[in-house]
Amino acid sequence: MQNSALVASVTPRKVVVFGGDGFLGSHFVDALAAQGHEITVFGHSRPNGSGNLVHLEGCFRRVVGEFSDEKAVAAALKGQDVAADFILTSTPVSSWEEPLRTTETDLGPTVRFFELCVEQGVRKVLFSSSGGSLYGPHHGPTDENTLTRPFNPHGIVKLCCEHFLSYFRVKSGLASDCYRIGNAYGPRQPLDRTQGVVGAWIGCILAGQPLEVYGDESTLRDYVSALDAAQLMTSSLADLDSTDTYNLGTGHGTSILELLEIFKEVSDRPFEYHVHPRRPLDNPSAILLSGKLLERFPGFTFRDLRQGIRESFDWAKKRM
């Protein structure tokens, strides 16, 4: 694994990962296992989960349940040092048409989750926030001090959750790290729903469907490999009393048309595509400066986007 020499030696922790058999969560579980932590995975009631963790069966405890089931969540949290939240119920696309539903399904249950963490004695929460929609209509790179101006309900709710973590820090002493993640992509990304353009496009190509391209050369995104993101987030385990907010992106913007050219280069089969104007729900630019986080990983280098997309293609073809 790239940057494997940079994995820090930390005290083994008891970590429960909610959504740990999902896309980004499963990569975080891989990173935890590589460091020797004691892992619990909380996920949906499906046989063998998503299949993303088959290679680690026997190396972690699995708790089956729904995020809305407070008893199941509390049981998973009991005795844990750290709780990592990768539960995904909405996306920027889905939340645009259903803002009230997004508030009901995301904000309330997540605040209750933070309360349960306090009640069960968890020392620290690791929260996956949104770097793509939380800063709003900024042009150019953003750092953690950039004014947050989200207009998409997904980003609005994520920012509210961050503020509630500040509340629980003051009220109850619950530590937390919030990671404002860019456009994560990589193996295990869903191919049949809108959880990232890379996975969606790969799914369309393999299904023989045209790509729907929204935007132009000014529509910039920061594409970060899920494997890199997962490794960087393990830095939260070094200090269970610290609280901070981190951007997690490469600091490089790739336009949607540049991404299309990369797909033409990487794909081993032809495909059709339709180019449309940028949608109102999309930020014009989302580029994340991660200098504060990278200070903990001297010499860290992000995966090349072309190579990362090739890895995603290879995984998807084997999966299908």
Is the per-residue pLDDT at 47 higher than 60? Answer: no
- Could you count the other beta carbons within 10 Å of the beta carbon of residue 280? 8
Q: Does residue 144 form part of some domain?
A: yes
Q: Does residue 120 form part of some domain?
A: yes
Q: Does residue 105 form part of some domain?
A: yes
Tell me the average pLDDT across 233-242: 97
Q: Does residue 3 form part of some domain?
A: no
> Average pLDDT over the chain, rounded to whole?
93
pLDDT in tens, 49-103: 578 999 998 999 999 999 999 999 999 999 999 999 999 888 899 999 999 999 9
pLDDT in tens, 143-194: 999 999 999 999 999 999 999 999 999 999 999 999 999 999 999 999 976 6
pLDDT of residue 51: 87
Q: Does residue 7 form part of some domain?
A: no
pLDDT of residue 139: 86
**CATH value at residue 129:** 3.40.50.720
pLDDT of residue 246: 98
Residue 279 sits in which domain range?
12-319
Q: Does residue 6 form part of some domain?
A: no
- 229 and 248 in contact (C-beta within 8 Å)? yes
Q: Does residue 70 form part of some domain?
A: yes
Is the per-residue pLDDT at 320 higher than 90? Answer: no
- Total of domains in the chain: 1
